[in-house]
Amino acid sequence: MNYKIFADFQGFKLEIEDNIEVDDPNIILDNFSNFIEIFKKKFDTKKSVHIDEKVNETEKKPSILITNSSEAIKNIKHIASNLFKFTNDGDIIRKISLDKLTNTEQIVLISLEKKMLFEENLRDNEIISLDDLDDELTLNKKQITARVSDLSKLNILKRTGRGEYRLNIHAIDEFLKSFNEKLDE
């Protein structure tokens, strides 16, 4: 099975994006723990990086999420089917009007559409460019750039090149809930 690792500790986020071929998720946790120990030994000096092993009871505990990527895609496809569908030519038929969405939500929805087109082999890649967004939206370039920057800071869009981004499907739960609520309006 293919797994991806996402870790969040006191606001620091780590995502290992390479698929790891293993049968037992515990192997990933063991390898991840070994990686962290090596990292701590290398950087836990009086240099610029310090890792504090002490965590107060009131502080956030580390959390690690291991996901099966194919399952995540399957779940997103199911949810996305409520929001839009595709023709055989790759045209998008939206079930939700962009007018009901905020500028940020519009960008996430369009990014999700491009991702799902890619997953359905109706698009060559999952990358969305600022030009793609400019073609789809009535916003000006500065507004698009500002909203994409916000989404990038939230780890929802990941920069892959100059003016090119990829949607992080593991970070869009709140948007999916919002989309579903607006479908009912």
Q: What is the pLDDT of residue 65?
A: 45
Which residues on adjacent β-strands are paired with residue 8? 13, 63
Inform me whether the pLDDT recorded for 127 exceeds 80.
Answer: yes
- Which of 26-30, 56-60, 181-185 tops mean pLDDT? 181-185
Ranges of each domain in the chain: 2-69, 81-183
Which of 137-141, 169-173, 181-185 holds the top average pLDDT?
137-141
Spell out the CATH class of 81-183.
mainly alpha
CA atoms of 45 and 42, how far apart (whole Å): 8
* pLDDT value at residue 139: 92
HEC-encoded secondary structure of 132-184: HHHHHCCCCHHHHHHHHHHHHHCCCEEEEECCEEEECHHHCHHHHHHHHHHHC
Structure pTM?
0.63
